A = this chain, B = another copy of it.
Amino acid sequence: MNPIQLFDAESSTYTYILAAANGEAAIIDPVDRHCERDLAHLRRLGLRLAYALETHAHADHVTSSGRLRELTGARACAPSGCGIAPAEVQLEDGDVVRFGGEEVRVLHTPGHTAGSVSFLWRTNLFTGDTLLIDGCGRTDFQGGSAGDLYDSVRDKLFALPDETRVWPGHDYRGQSVSTIGWEKRNNARLAGRSRDDFIALMAALDLPQPKMIDVALPANRRLGLVHTV
């Protein structure tokens, strides 16, 4: 049971639609400029959106969760540590979001940001910007911490079965999906690297400030509803 994977070429962001047999659905990390595209998918597939889920407060694009909530009646879910106050469901580690007989389990995986979470649905893991295919998210803003990311990946994500499919929040090289087993053995940043080495590697990246952070972060903390409080 794979999700439906949708892509935003501008920010290289993946959005996912998870469909239950009864027609209820959840969407993970929807992007504002694709709100109509995503609604079109729900219409064509005869799906009713039950939940819009955020893995974290994004710095590189604006969410459409608030708008999707207005248009569909879905409930908005965001990690409790991300300062996304308008989300009516504040997600904690271990929480389970249920719709149409499906279960999405919340794993608090701090590191990219302090509040970041991953979602586990059946044998599919949605890692946001925590674990990417052959890489990982940056750890230098919003309470990010290379040590925390290392611990999150090693203790929570790499503890999952090898065959667990990894669906990242971004990919910049045209890749779509991986597995926990492959990332454990091959991930260029994390496989076979000590915690101290990983922290040094991340500190040396010296990345520029995300171009959109000053716009995107405040907007995402309002679920993308830019003109309302």
Cβ-defined contact, A43 with B182, below 8 A:
yes
Cβ-defined contact, A176 with B133, below 8 A:
no
Cβ-defined contact, A46 with B176, below 8 A:
no
How many copies altogether? Answer: 2
Q: Which of A1-46 contact B (CB under 8 A)?
A: 1-7, 9, 34, 37, 40-41, 43-46
Cβ-defined contact, B4 with A1, below 8 A:
no
In the assembled complex, the CB of A131 is this many whole angstroms from the nearest CB of chain B, namely: 13
Nearest chain B residue, comparing its CB with the CB of A45: B179
Contacts of A1 in B (CB 8 A): 1-2
Encoded as 1 (CB less than 8 Å from any B CB) or 0, chain A from 129 to 163 comes to 00001000000000000000000000000000001
A177 lies within 8 A of chain B by Cβ: yes
Contacts of A165 in B (CB 8 A): 45
Cβ-defined contact, A176 with B6, below 8 A:
yes
Cβ-defined contact, A41 with B4, below 8 A:
no
Encoded as 1 (CB less than 8 Å from any B CB) or 0, chain A from 77 to 92 comes to 0000000000000000
List residues of A whose CB falls within 8 A of some B CB. Answer: 1-7, 9, 34, 37, 40-41, 43-46, 133, 163, 165, 174-179, 181-182
New A-B pairs, 13, CB < 8 Å, besides A2-B3, A44-B182: A1-B1, A2-B4, A5-B176, A9-B9, A37-B174, A41-B176, A41-B177, A43-B182, A44-B177, A44-B178, A45-B177, A45-B178, A46-B182
